[in-house]
Amino acid sequence: MFQVSKKFWGNIRVAGGVVSAVAVVYGLLAPLPYLSIVGIIILLIVYYFSQRNSRLKEAWLNHYLDTVVRNIDRANNYALHKIPVGIAVFDKEGSLQWKNELFETWVGGKADEGDSFSAILPAPDNNFDTLSLKDADKDIRIGEKYFSMLVRRIKITEDGAQDNGLVIFLLDTTDREVQKAKFKQDSICLAYLQFDNYNDVLKGLNESTRANLTVEVTKAVGQWADEMKGIFLKYADDLYMVCLTRKALQETMARKFDVMDRVREIKVGNKIAPTVSLGVAGGDWSLAELSEKAQAGLDLSLGRGGDQASVSLDGELQFFGAKSSVQAKSTRVRARIVAQAIHELMTNADKIFIMGHVNEDYDSLGAAVGVAKMSMSLNKETYVVHSGQGSSFERLQDLVTDLDEQYKAIFVDEDQALAAVTKDSILILVDHHRAMLTASPKVLAAIPKRVIIDHHRQAEDIIQKAVLQYLEPSSSSTSELVTEILRYFNDRMDFTPLEATALYAGILVDTKNFAVQTGERTFEAAALLRREGADPSMVSELFKDDQATILARAQVVASMEIPIPGLAMSVYQQAPEGYNTSIIIAQAADELLTMDAIHVSVVMSEGEGLVGISARSDGSVNVQIILEELGGGGHQTVAGVKVAGVTVAELREKIIAMAREQLEKQPVNEERDNNESNIDAGRQEIG
């Protein structure tokens, strides 16, 4: 009706205007002056009403537009304050200019205008200067809630190129993160478990006791799997597979894999305590990858001596356990197999290169001489690559070249070795298995075909792609391992007195004259070498020191202190650079260990920006675990490390804390149960 009325009155105005115009024209032409006047009056009336109607339309339109704009502003304001996104604007100085209600709620109500960015969103995770450099998206946590934070730069002024402020958008992602965490906690982890001393424990037991012992071990593993709400499968006499959730794995990690303690406590007539080793893997991997990593972890646990768990979780490797001493193996089957394999590898190679660790000791050098003996018995071109460091090498080289002509040409440095390398060469690494410790990294890289013979516990960063690995942590020394291999390498092989003495010296230096880490096989190897002409007097000559070394060692021993019962510590202050320093602190550590009631000794050398540490133990404390925490390595009773960027005081407190933890658990030989991951911190001293 309104539209019809508007149209009707519009037509009336048009008609009136036309009629009045005609009347005016006709009145002027007729002439009828009154008609013209009437026409003009009507025309004015029509004009008035037309103008009035136009003003009314304009006023209505303005009112309509004002209403629309006010509604839009009202909607925008409502949206900014009620939209499920927290928004805040900061100026170039990081002061809050504006925020919506949700942002203030999410930051705990501490968001008043003028507050600094750092007060609202604390550093270091949220640094205003860093966020101002470019737009960014990141996840943050505020209290118990999780947010996705979008950072967008805005220009505060038109002409200020660097005059940038920030707009922060917070999106609540708590539900998503909770679901992700739940999914992650429920993800599958895989564990391979092995009864690692199965044959040794069952040896000498009757069938009934064997069956009972096996059942008890299986029962302990099954109970542990049930407590973790997992499943387990026994797929061999000494092998188990366990599936459990990530949450359960974290629980058993917090309990230090107490399944190993349960198994160790089993007594059903057995003389040797049973032990188990585990390889566990968890993370965003397929089942096939989990299986591969779990198996690799089990191999690593066994290579480190057994009775421990190796856990690979999200790419991070951790070790737990190792509470029992490494048991010496009575069987030599593996030594015979390794000897046959090395014989075949040497036969197929044209040149044999042998290399120990940097700053060679007598164990490394003796083992190298023994392997060279194997190579030369096959008439192969043989080289022993040395680092050129250490008095041990100089003394042995002088002795070798004086007594045996054929050894004069085999000791070579890095450059000489690289010049002789061929594509069919083979490299045999003795007394170490980590690239960071090798005498020549360049020679290691130049020869891809490698064999490893070592008595140290396997580290995470073991040299990869070796064609043969012979790691035996239960052995006293690498020289002992090489002596056993020599027995099976060639039945008719005769030792020269020099070769026997070099191997004998290697055994003596690592066993501290048969005082530590010795078993029946150690004495059998030593007896064999003595029969072959090993000369103790010649060894004594090798072990002699000069006057300066003796005086320096005496000074270090005299400055000894006992910070806690059972631990002796000393510091070689302002130690000069050179290999003699490592010898002095090693010998001082040996001497401190001879004191009454001392179970572990630690001697440190304080040089320019570098601290050397040598640690010794009587076997009741595992010093390798202590120094692995600092990036070092070695053996259970002998270990060392060189650390840069820290002070003696800082290291002293760490060592005391770790030693106290083990000493307080006496009389059982124990290692730290927490993360023992290796850290590459430089080339370490090796036992």
**CB-CB contact of 283 with 315 (8 Å):** yes
Characterise 513 by phi-psi region: left (phi > 0), alpha (psi -120 to 50), beta (else): left
What are the DSSP E strand ranges found in 586-676? 600-606, 610-617, 633-634, 638-644
Helices (H), 228-332: 246-254, 259-264, 287-303
May I ask the CATH architecture of the domain 547-663? Roll (3.10)
User: Given CA atoms 525, 530, 531, 532 in this order, what sign does their dihedral have?
Assistant: positive
Please state, in angstroms and as integers, the Cα–Cα distance from residue 310 to each residue in 240, 243, 275, 306, 552, following that order.
Answer: 15, 15, 14, 10, 42
Helix, strand or coil, per DSSP, at residue 411 = strand
Q: What length does the chain have?
A: 687
**Residue 686's pLDDT is what?**
37
Spatial distance between the Cα atoms of 512 and 543, rounded to a whole number of angstroms: 12
For residue 140, the cross-strand partners are 147
Characterise 327 by phi-psi region: left (phi > 0), alpha (psi -120 to 50), beta (else): beta
Residue 79 — pLDDT band, cuts 50, 70, 90?
low
Which class would CATH give 186-321? alpha beta
Spatial distance between the Cα atoms of 303 and 57, rounded to a whole number of angstroms: 94
Least confident of 242-246, 527-531, 540-544, 597-601: 540-544
Helix, strand or coil, per DSSP, at residue 269 = coil
Spatial distance between the Cα atoms of 252 and 480, rounded to a whole number of angstroms: 38
**Residue 445's pLDDT is what?**
93
The number of angstroms, rounded, from the C-alpha of 328 to the middle of its chain's C-alpha atoms is 30
Strand order across the 96-99 sheet = 96-99, 86-90, 164-172, 145-155, 136-142
May I ask the CATH architecture of the domain 333-543? Alpha-Beta Complex (3.90)
Average pLDDT of span 644-648: 84
With a cut of 50, say whether residue 488 has pLDDT above it. Answer: yes
For residue 570, the cross-strand partners are 603
**Residue 80's pLDDT is what?**
56
With a cut of 70, say whether residue 327 has pLDDT above it. Answer: no
Nearest to 384 by CA among 368, 400, 399: 368
Least confident of 160-164, 251-255, 378-382, 655-659: 160-164
**Residue 63's pLDDT is what?**
67
For all residues of the chain together, what is the average pLDDT?
Answer: 81
Please state, in angstroms and as integers, the Cα–Cα distance from residue 97 to each residue in 94, 111, 306, 353, 568, following that order.
Answer: 9, 10, 63, 72, 62
With a cut of 90, say whether residue 219 has pLDDT above it. Answer: yes
Q: CA neighbours within 13 Å on the CB side: how many for 619?
A: 13
With a cut of 90, say whether residue 446 has pLDDT above it. Answer: yes
Where exactly are the structural domains of the chain? 2-80, 86-181, 186-321, 333-543, 547-663
Q: How many CB atoms lie within 10 A of CB 210?
A: 17
For residue 456, give the DSSP letter.
S
Residue 670 — pLDDT band, cuts 50, 70, 90?
very low
Spatial distance between the Cα atoms of 449 and 428, rounded to a whole number of angstroms: 9
Nearest to 328 by CA among 659, 671, 598, 619: 619
- What does the pLDDT look like over 222-238, one tens digit per residue? 999 999 999 989 988 89
**CB-CB contact of 662 with 637 (8 Å):** no
| Helices and strands in the chain, H and E counts | 24, 23
Which class would CATH give 86-181? alpha beta
Helix (H) or strand (E) holding 111: none
With a cut of 70, say whether residue 672 has pLDDT above it. Answer: no
Q: What are φ and ψ of residue 167, in 5° steps? A: -110, 125
11-20, 209-218, 459-468, 661-670: range with highest mean pLDDT: 209-218
